[in-house]
Chains A and B, each alone.
Chain A
Amino acid sequence: MKDMTPETEITLDDAIKFLWSEADILDRNDFDAWLPLWHGGHYIIPIGDEVTDFANNLNIVYDDAQMRKARAARLSGGFSISAAPPARTVRTLSRFVFTEEAPGAVTIRSALHVIEDKFGRQRMFAANVEHKLIATENGIRITQKVVRLLNSDGMLTSISYLF
């Protein structure tokens, strides 16, 4: 990562490399590496495609920094039967589009496919993902991540990893 300041332009190439690195971290369930990618903000999996007022709606996930930390502890602590071991996942992230650009801050939308494997069965999820990213002296950081599962208001399954 090149030297950054809060004013450094984040190029599409910078953003894609960052998101692929995050995807790799999540497939490896390396939550110790995932938590520091954040700079405040919320990790959100809303219900329904239209919702933008997340605080006043029921979400599947609505995590501030404290809840993200608790979630990571739950998933890696060894005391959660669904996460010990979790389903294994392989994900791809593609179709990257900048939807907002400002000095040192971008919003990037992408397509996410995740396949999980457990108990000899595989399940598939698709989502539109929106990251708000900022440039900091420590590199790119996430200030908001919204994962819109294609079937978020339908029947899902239990999930013990992160999108």
Chain B
Amino acid sequence: MTLDHFPQGPQDASYAPLVKGDRVATPMYEDPAIFDVEMEKIFGKTWVWVGHESEVPDKGNFKLSVVGTQPVIISHDRKGALHVLVNRCRHRAATVCEIKKGKTSSFQCPYHGWGYALDGSLRGVPYTEGYNTDFDKKDYGLKKLKVETYQGMIFASFNMDVEPLEDFLGNAKPWIDLFMKQGGGFPVKTLGEHQFKVPMNWKIQLENTTDAYHFPVVHKSFMQSLDGEATQQFSFLEDDDGWVEDLGNGHSVMVMMPELNDLDDNLDAPIPERFQALAETLRADYDEDQVRRIVRAVGGCGFNLNLFPNAACSLSFFRILRPVSVNETEIRHIALGMDGGPEAANQMRMRLHEHFQGPMGFGSPDDAEVWERVQRGSAGGGDLDVMVNRGKGLEETSENGLPKGDISAETGMRAAYAKWQEMMA
């Protein structure tokens, strides 16, 4: 036996060939060994969305989050800096925080009492005389991730050599800028979230954010619950003005209602019927220009922006995925509103969010059902590929020099899988 034929462990395997351009191999949904490598090579290497600044607005605020499968704490320290820390005591590994969100001056391990500052540095060790003189607290701070923010969104990476966040976001940045206009002149803040887990591989969710093709099929019962004008708005598959665009680095955007891309435009357009009562309420406190701006922002943007590997700015909310295992994924639908904005407007945003999103929305349960069906179906025919070829060969080239397909094209999925392939090589 020569070294050339030495058996390779799973960590040495390259899974890159499982992506075949316009199709992907079934084991990508099914093989636990691939999942483990994804956690290392993707979630362990790139920028991962962990939270929004409005979730930790003040000094001393913290919030629990995850990067891949690893528990982390987002912490806002006394000097105003944000930290993302692995939620694991450096002594014997117990979590140092199990409160989902709050305010504190330090984190203390419940097991032996090691205490950490908000920046993760180790401050207190009970009975230090039991350690040798070479023990230095400086060596035992909570493990820190690299942290950068863009437009209030907090990203973290285990990779200290990762490219600057703004380079990674690249062509997605102008779309994020547009998305944040739904503050209607106020800062965007989170208004709570819906959370549900689905027995599926995380990439089934990743694919879905730029999948317009499923909308009229899966969301028929949601459409039936809308008034005429809103039905018209969500009939984007019938229109011919939408598109899906590869933005590079695995990111993509699906434009469903181009007239709502820039919420500062078309402020003279008639106020839709379902927003007229809100507009009337707002007129008591705001001038007509502000009323129109706020009302237009309440309805959200006209596009879904997919940020590889775990986040989306979707119409009016953040959609965050968390891979748990090869066939289990947790989804968070974070509602957004106007910080300091009118109560009536934020109430309407929450009611619109409740209507479609979350465990008992009129949309999400039907998404969850078909995603679970994909996972159940992919247990069969492991030799067959999953097709993401819709629109292939019909695409144009965007201003960014990247593929741009029609609204129902699977261009966004191909963009994500190309990045997956690059990172898994």
**Chain A residues engaging chain B, CB cutoff 8 angstroms:** 45, 47, 55-62, 67, 70-71, 73-74, 77, 79-83, 119, 153-160
Task: Give every chain B residue within 8 A of A156 (Cβ-Cβ).
Answer: 194-197, 359
Count: A-B pairs, CB below 8 Å:
94
CB contact under 8 A between A60 and B366, given known A47-B192, A73-B225, A81-B218: no
Task: Give every chain B residue within 8 A of A45 (Cβ-Cβ).
Answer: 360
Interchain CB contact under 8 A, A58 and B194 = yes
Residue from A61, A79, A155 in contact with B224 in the complex, judged by beta carbons closer than 8 Å: A79
Cα–Cα, bound, A71→B354 (Å)? 12
Cα–Cα, bound, A82→B191 (Å)? 27
Cα–Cα, bound, A81→B367 (Å)? 9
Jot down 6 A-B pairs with beta carbons below 8 A, ordered by A.
A57-B192, A57-B350, A60-B194, A62-B351, A80-B220, A82-B368
Convert B328-353 into 0s and 1s, putting 1 for each residue whose CB lies closer than 8 angstroms to a CB of A.
00100001000000010011001101
CB contact under 8 A between A158 and B368, given known A45-B360, A58-B354: yes
Query: Cβ of B362 < 8 Å from any Cβ of A?
Result: yes
Name which residue of chain A comes closest to B367, CB basis. Answer: A158
Interchain CB contact under 8 A, A61 and B354 = yes
Cα–Cα, bound, A55→B197 (Å)? 26
Known: A47-B194, A80-B220. 12 other contacts (CB 8 A): A59-B354, A70-B362, A73-B225, A81-B370, A154-B195, A155-B197, A157-B359, A158-B198, A158-B367, A159-B359, A159-B365, A160-B365
Interchain CB contact under 8 A, A79 and B192 = no
**Which of A47, A59, A80, A159 has the most chain B CB within a 10 Å cutoff?**
A80
Cα–Cα, bound, A55→B347 (Å)? 7
Which residues B124-175 have CB closer than 8 A to chain A? none
Interchain CB contact under 8 A, A119 and B372 = yes
Query: Cβ of B397 < 8 Å from any Cβ of A?
Result: no
Which residues B184-238 have CB closer than 8 A to chain A? 191-198, 218, 220-222, 224-225
CB contact under 8 A between A159 and B360, given known A58-B193, A58-B335: yes
Cα–Cα, bound, A80→B193 (Å)? 23
Task: Give every chain B residue within 8 A of A56 (Cβ-Cβ).
Answer: 343, 346-347
CB contact under 8 A between A158 and B196, given known A71-B362, A79-B224, A153-B100: yes
Residue from B191, B195, B355 in contact with A155 in the complex, judged by beta carbons closer than 8 Å: B195
A-B interface, 5 closest residue pairs, ranked by CB to CB distance from nearest: A58-B192, A158-B368, A158-B365, A80-B221, A82-B369
Interchain CB contact under 8 A, B221 and A79 = yes
Cα–Cα, bound, A150→B218 (Å)? 29
Name which residue of chain A comes closest to B353, CB basis. Answer: A58
Query: Cβ of B412 < 8 Å from any Cβ of A?
Result: no
Cα–Cα, bound, A58→B335 (Å)? 8
Task: Give every chain B residue within 8 A of A119 (Cβ-Cβ).
Answer: 372, 376
Cα–Cα, bound, A156→B360 (Å)? 10
Cα–Cα, bound, A119→B198 (Å)? 13
Name which residue of chain B comes closest to A77, CB basis. Answer: B221
Task: Give every chain A residue within 8 A of B222 (Cβ-Cβ).
Answer: 74
Name which residue of chain B comes closest to A67, CB basis. Answer: B355
Query: Cβ of B403 < 8 Å from any Cβ of A?
Result: no
Interchain CB contact under 8 A, B224 and A81 = no
Cα–Cα, bound, A16→B120 (Å)? 53
Name which residue of chain A comes closest to B362, CB basis. Answer: A74
Task: Give every chain A residue within 8 A of B372 (Cβ-Cβ).
Answer: 119
Cα–Cα, bound, A126→B420 (Å)? 40
Task: Give every chain A residue within 8 A of B192 (Cβ-Cβ).
Answer: 47, 57-58
Interchain CB contact under 8 A, B359 and A158 = yes
The smallest beta-carbon distance between A103 and chain B, in angstroms, is 33
Cα–Cα, bound, A59→B357 (Å)? 10
Cα–Cα, bound, A73→B220 (Å)? 12
CB contact under 8 A between A157 and B350, given known A60-B359, A74-B362, A81-B366: no
Task: Give every chain A residue within 8 A of B365 (Cβ-Cβ).
Answer: 80, 82-83, 158-160
Cα–Cα, bound, A155→B320 (Å)? 13
Interchain CB contact under 8 A, A70 and B225 = yes
Task: Give every chain A residue within 8 A of B218 (Cβ-Cβ).
Answer: 81
Interchain CB contact under 8 A, A58 and B191 = yes
Name which residue of chain A comes closest to B337, CB basis. Answer: A58
Cα–Cα, bound, A38→B218 (Å)? 30
Task: Give every chain A residue within 8 A of B360 (Cβ-Cβ).
Answer: 45, 60-61, 158-160
Interchain CB contact under 8 A, B197 and A157 = yes
The smallest beta-carbon distance between B119 and chain A, in angstroms, is 28
Name which residue of chain A comes closest to B334, CB basis. Answer: A58
Residue from B100, B347, B358, B362 in contact with A60 in the complex, judged by beta carbons closer than 8 Å: B358
Task: Give every chain B residue within 8 A of A61 (Cβ-Cβ).
Answer: 354, 360
Query: Cβ of B364 < 8 Å from any Cβ of A?
Result: yes
Task: Give every chain A residue within 8 A of B191 (Cβ-Cβ).
Answer: 58
CB contact under 8 A between A60 and B221, given known A74-B362, A119-B372, A158-B365: no
Name which residue of chain A comes closest to B369, CB basis. Answer: A82
Cα–Cα, bound, A58→B355 (Å)? 11
The smallest beta-carbon distance between B194 and chain A, in angstroms, is 7
Interchain CB contact under 8 A, A157 and B366 = no
Task: Give every chain B residue within 8 A of A155 (Cβ-Cβ).
Answer: 195-197, 330
Name which residue of chain A comes closest to B222, CB basis. Answer: A74
